[in-house]
Structure 1
Amino acid sequence: MADLSKLMDIALKAGQEILKVYKEDFDVEVKEDNSPLTIADKRSHETIMDGLQSTYPEIPVLSEEGAEIPYDERAHWGHFWLVDPLDGTKEFIKKNGEFTVNIALIEVKYPVMGIIYAPALDTLYFGKEGHGAFKLENVSEGTVEDEADLIRKSEKLPNAKETDVINVVASRSHMSDDTQAFIDDLKKDGQEVDVVSAGSSLKFCLLAEGKADYYPRYAPTMEWDTGAGQAIVEASGGKVLRHEDQERFYYNRENLKNGWFLVKR
Structure 2
Amino acid sequence: MIDVSLKTMLDISLDAGREILDVYNQEFSIETKEDDSPLTEADRRSHQSIINGIREAYSRIPVLSEEGSEIPYAKRKDWTLFFLIDPLDGTKEFIKKNDEFTVNIALIENGYPVMGVIYAPVLDSFYFGRVSLGAFKLEDASRVDLADDEALIKQSIRLPVADPSGVVNVVASRSHMSEETEVFIEELQRDHEVDVVTAGSSLKFCLVAEGKADYYPRYAPTMEWDTGAGQAIVEAAGGTMLRYEDHERLYYNRENLKNGWFLVKR
TM-score, normalised with respect to structure 2: 0.97
How far 1:186 moved relative to its partner? 1.5
1:123 aligned to which of 122, 125, 128:
125
> How large is the RMSD of aligned CA atoms in angstroms?
1.1
Matched, 1:181 2:183: yes
Matched, 1:256 2:252: no
- Output one character per residue of 1:152-177: Cα deviation in whole Å (capped at 9) or x when no partner: 10000011423111011124786422
Matched, 1:194 2:195: yes
Matches for 1:96-135 after TM superposition, within 5 Å? 96-135=98-137
1:11 aligned to which of 4, 10, 13:
13
Aligned to 2:155: 153
Residue identity opposite 1:204 in structure 2: F
Structure 2 gap segments, 5+ residues each: none
1:31 aligned to which of 18, 29, 33:
33
SS at match of 1:170: strand
SS at match of 1:51: helix
How far 1:18 moved relative to its partner? 0.4
Q: Distance in 2 between matches of 1:36 and 1:205?
A: 23
Q: Distance in 1 between matches of 2:173 and 2:228?
A: 21
More moved, 173-182 vs 81-90: 173-182
- Output one character per residue of 1:31-84: Cα deviation in whole Å (capped at 9) or x when no partner: 000000000000000000000011001100000000000000110100100000
Residue identity opposite 2:105 in structure 1: I
Aligned to 2:75: 73
Q: Distance in 1 between matches of 2:57 and 2:97?
A: 32
Q: Judging changes above 3 Å, is the alpha-carbon distance between structure 1 residues 225 and 152 closer, same or farther for their aligned structure 2 residues?
A: same
Aligned to 2:167: 165
Identity of aligned residues (%): 67
Q: Distance in 1 between matches of 2:35 and 2:176?
A: 20
Residue identity opposite 2:92 in structure 1: K
Q: Distance in 1 between matches of 2:179 and 2:147?
A: 48
Aligned to 2:142: 140
How far 1:196 moved relative to its partner? 0.8
Aligned residues: 264
SS at match of 2:28: coil
Structure 1 gap segments, 5+ residues each: none
